[in-house]
Amino acid sequence: MKPHNFSIEFFPPKTEEGARKLCATRAELAQLKPLYFSVTFGAGGSTQQGTLDTVLEIQREGHLAAPHLSCIGSTRAQLREVLQGYKANGISRLVALRGDLPSGYGGMGELRYASELVEFIRAETGSHFHIEVAAYPEMHPQARSPQDDLQNFVRKMKAGADAAITQYFYNADAYFYFVEQARKAGIEAPIVPGIMPITNYSQLMRFSDMCGAEIPRWVRLKLASFGDDSAAIRAFGQDVVTDLCRRLLAGGAPGLHFYSMNQAAATKAIWQALL
């Protein structure tokens, strides 16, 4: 059983070698027929050209592409220009975010929260874009409380978002509870779980510390016990994440969004195991 709302995320490559690799990754993952590929955007516009270039390549290859757009560190005029560029290039989907500023970056920009960005996009471009926003089943790390974070999520959806993609998590109950709370607050739009394949223990721990995703103790202990045995880490990671995806889909998740990290193998293996 294949969900309709299946998407795969890339980041814009920084080198020619990275671009060649991403092209091969895309060709492999395109065989899985995702609904769209999304491409991340560095806060303050640091990857603006790379995001656009990657999105245009994806479109040339005949696939639907959604650039991410973050507002922190940018002025309204800069965001307007980016939106006009996307529109002129036939782009019709966006993932709208606040973003995180790299340390040492100067100004905060003119919009403080993703809800303001969604309002701005709607004011500037009406219903042209299908807009997805971020959701945090385990709470955004800067939120005052889960209740506050939920209210902020609701505000962002009501500002005009069509759907949401979650931060990654390994605890299906956190997702189901979050969706239930969002439904009670009147949000009917799809909330697609974000899925991070497990391929590298230290990288996973680093990312999870930054974004506040919890790695269950038993998963952490097991991964640590494999040491440098990357084949064992990948095999165990595939089991854990495939099982998570099965539970999410069986429990009514409308699809899956894969954080591919520009690698094909893990996403492909999980997806094929779900068929």
Selection from 39, 112, 105 nearest residue 75 by Cα: 112
Select 29 or 72, whichever has its Cβ closest to ligand FAD: 72
Q: Is 54 near ligand FAD (CB under 6 A)?
A: no
Q: Is 99 near ligand FAD (CB under 6 A)?
A: yes
Find the binder of ligand FAD among 105, 113, 207, 226 (CB under 6 A). 113
Report residue 151 CA to chain centroid gap: 20
- CA distance linking residue 66 with residue 129, whole number of Å: 10
**Beta-bridge partner residues of 6:** 256
DSSP labels, 134-168: EE-TT--TT-S-HHHHHHHHHHHHHTT--EEEEEE
- 9 included as an active-site residue: yes
Residue 135 CB, shortest distance to ligand FAD, in Å, is 7
Q: Is 162 near ligand FAD (CB under 6 A)?
A: no
Q: Is 52 near ligand FAD (CB under 6 A)?
A: no
Residue 157 · residue 119 · CB < 8 Å? no
Q: Is 167 near ligand FAD (CB under 6 A)?
A: yes
| Stretch touching ligand FAD by CB under 6 A, among 27-35, 90-98, 122-130, 244-252 | 90-98
179, 149, 200, 252: CA torsion to nearest 10: 0
Select 160 or 234, whichever has its Cβ closest to ligand FAD: 160
Which residues of the shown chain bind ligand FAD in the complex (CB under 6 A)?
Answer: 40-41, 43, 68, 70, 95, 97-100, 113-115, 134, 140, 142-143, 148-149, 152, 156, 165, 167, 194
